[in-house]
Amino acid sequence: MVDASTSPAISIRNVGKSFGKGIYAIRVLDDVSVDIGRREFFTLLGPSGCGKTTLLRLIAGFEIADSGAIAIEGRDVTAAPPYQRPVNTVFQSYALFPHLTVEQNVAFALEEQRLPRDAIRKRVGEALEMVRMGAYSSRRPAELSGGQQQRVALARALAPRPRVLLLDEPLSALDLKLRKEMQIELKLLQEEAGITFLFVTHDQEEALTLSDRVAVMQSGQILQMGPPREIYETPTHRFVADFIGDINLMDGEALPGGGIRLKSGAVLPVIHGKTGEVTVAIRPERARLVPAGDGALDVTLVHSAYLGTAMLHKLSLPDGSTFLLREPEDKMSSLAGNGRTVGLALPTEALRVLER
């Protein structure tokens, strides 16, 4: 028997899902397995069509898996209907009832559970205070801003006290400034609620900002999973490296005795266990400008842009490809100058060798 006190909040084993039948079937999840810990903020990240929302819907019970199993806190819920699962969902559209007040929206699910009136009133008050919307209880959704509506949707989802909260791109409808503010609020809310949050997004910055762990998905599979810093600093797939933030990708050949020969002929002294054609990846902020002849490559500085806290340089490599280099404000080089030949220093510890 599974010990529910130590089992993961969500356990997904070899889950597969297709839509359509026969030759028209589209495989959207392909043998996905993952454990999500209790009180963890876990994010499914990937482009549209990668399967992340389908996986969330399987956990919620809105879809049924073709194969595999799903357990929540040790209990198999693979075929259980949504109302028998200890989860709640916050949708991108908020899905608030326009004719009900804020208080009535939050109370709706509790009334469906036929809880005592005093208990409903107490839980609604607690949920609204948690999202700092207690002063707006008598208003209707049309009288609220987008951010306030999002808070009400969160309060409504939290009021029934689910063990897991599922969030399907809940911030995507907000403007940039409000979205950044809500990212911080959402992380603080998860810590205060003390429950598991499973967050779905295509926004890399959102995933890195909010998450304890991130799973990067493509074509129905999880390519890499780990803490945000690990995903950013040590990607294991070319897709992950390219999808998460800015990165430079240089194609080359793995040499049997060690090192990578780039298309320009330059050899980078990188330790690796690869063979054949590979890609060398490095983040823009990890490279440096040095005098010509002092770096791994001599390059041409094409353009520089001041970003306030950093300077972004666009460089042209010997093979004609483009390289981005970001210098922090306190370390800006005096070598900059459009059209100038400079050296490009590539610290060995910052290079990642990926199979193509």
14-30 per-position pLDDT tens digit? 999 999 988 899 999 99
Q: What is the mean pLDDT of residues 280-288?
A: 95
For every residue of 149-172, which 3-state class applies, written as one string? HHHHHHHHHHCCCCCEEEEECCCC
267-282 per-position pLDDT tens digit? 998 888 888 899 999 9
118-161 per-position pLDDT tens digit? 999 999 999 999 998 999 999 999 999 988 998 999 999 999 99
Q: With a threshold of 0.85, does the pTM exceed it?
A: yes
Q: Which of 89-93, 212-216, 243-247 has the highest mean pLDDT?
A: 212-216
Does 4 have pLDDT greater than 60? no
Q: Which residue has the tokens 């959402």?
A: 186
Q: Exposed, middle or buried: residue 140 (CB in 10 Å: 0-12, 13-18, 19+)?
A: middle
Does 95 have pLDDT greater than 50? yes
* pLDDT band (50, 70, 90) for residue 74: very high
Domain ranges of the chain: 246-355
The residues near 245 (Cβ < 8 Å, ≥ 6 apart) are 204, 208, 232, 283
Q: What is the mean pLDDT of residues 158-170?
A: 94
Fold of 246-355: OB fold (Dihydrolipoamide Acetyltransferase, E2P) (2.40.50)
